[in-house]
Structure formats: C-alpha cells, structure tokens
Amino acid sequence: MGLKKLLIYRSKGSTERIDTYLKSYLRCSREKVKELLKTEKILVRNKPVSPSYILKDEDEIMITETFLSSKENNILPEQYPLDIIYNDDYIIVVNKPPGILTHPTEKDKSGTMVNFLMSIFPLPETDNILRPGVVHRLDRETSGVMVFAKTYNTWVNLTLQFKNRMVKKEYIAIVKGRFYPLRKEIEFTVAHNKKTTQK
C-alpha cells in the first residue's frame, strides 16, 4: 500500500479532531474519512489513529496514493463575482445568474456555480462526485436564489427537506402579450422532456 505525505498539521491554538479536519481538507464526508482511518489508509506519524484523535502541532499526516489519485479529477475552483445573499457555517445562499450551470457535467467541467463556490471554500462530498454541496438545481438559463450546503450533515438535511416538499419556491416569469383578467392563476404539472436531457 503506497503512502505519501499529504500535509503537516499546524496548530491553530485549539483542539481539532482529525476526522473533522480532513473532511474539509479532502472535500469528502466524515464517514469517508472514518473509513480511511479504520482501514489504516490514513496514518499520523506513521501510526493508525482513531477518528476522534486530537491533532497536535507538526503532526505528519500520510494518505494512500490510490485515494489521492482518485481525487485528481476534482472540480477546479474558479474566481467569479458571486452575488452572496446569506452565508454561515452550514449554508451559503447565492443568486445564480442566467446562462450558468449549477454544477459540472461529464461534458462541461468548468464555469459552473460549484466551480465558483469552491474558490471560496471546499464543498462537501455527496452521492454524486459532480455535485458537491448541491442541494437543488436551476436550469442553465434560469436565474434565481440557490442554497448550497457547506457540511455533509447539512446536505443530508436539506436534500430531505426539498425531497419532502418542505421548501416553498416562487418563480417569476416574463411573458409576452396581455392577460384578461390581468391577474390569472395557472396550475400545471412539469414533466421531463423525453427529447432532451434538460429539465
């Protein structure tokens, strides 16, 4: 099992668990970090440690080359003037402009909201490697408010809220022509377009 030096931990004057620290550094879930520690694919000073291990100044953290190589195709961060509406330790709310994808695809690897957000902070790994921190999506040409998760637990919680329709959404559309009466309520079901992958 090939190991290589990943980093030297520098103390910030406070106690920090290794699983919490590496979760953000490696941009993966805490469960993944625990698995790597349990199988001794992450070592500290060449010794296995538990997920609750408190890091010490100058700790040398080693990790398997196979795991590092699997992370080489990570989404690259890109600078972009984001319109941030709200930001805390758990979520960030941004205003997505039209013409920008929510997250990378197999075809489009750059120029997405995820690329832009990752230039500010690491997003948590989810069940899809191309959608770190993505709670919900907006189509490329749709602008509007988007919520992204900054921790894995927050992502789990928010995706369940969206799935169970606990989140209220409002859309404003620009239409051509006149409505009579001027105020009208239109109710219909949106379905997948079988002729295109776009939703």
Residues with active-site annotation: 139
Nearest to 142 by CA among 117, 119, 173: 173
Q: From residue 108, how far is each of 87, 115, 130, 148 by CA, in Å? A: 27, 11, 10, 20
Distance CA 10, CA 12 (A): 6
Rounded to whole angstroms, how far apart are CA atoms 157 and 86?
A: 18
Alpha carbon distance 1, 11 (integer Å): 29
Count of helices and strands (H, E) across the chain: 5, 6
How far, in Å, are 17, 18, 34, 64, 124 from residue 31 at the CA level?
14, 12, 5, 17, 11
User: Cβ(199)–Cβ(139) under 8 Å?
Assistant: yes
Pairing of strands 42-44, 3-8: unpaired
**Around Cβ 152, how many Cβ atoms within 10 Å?**
20
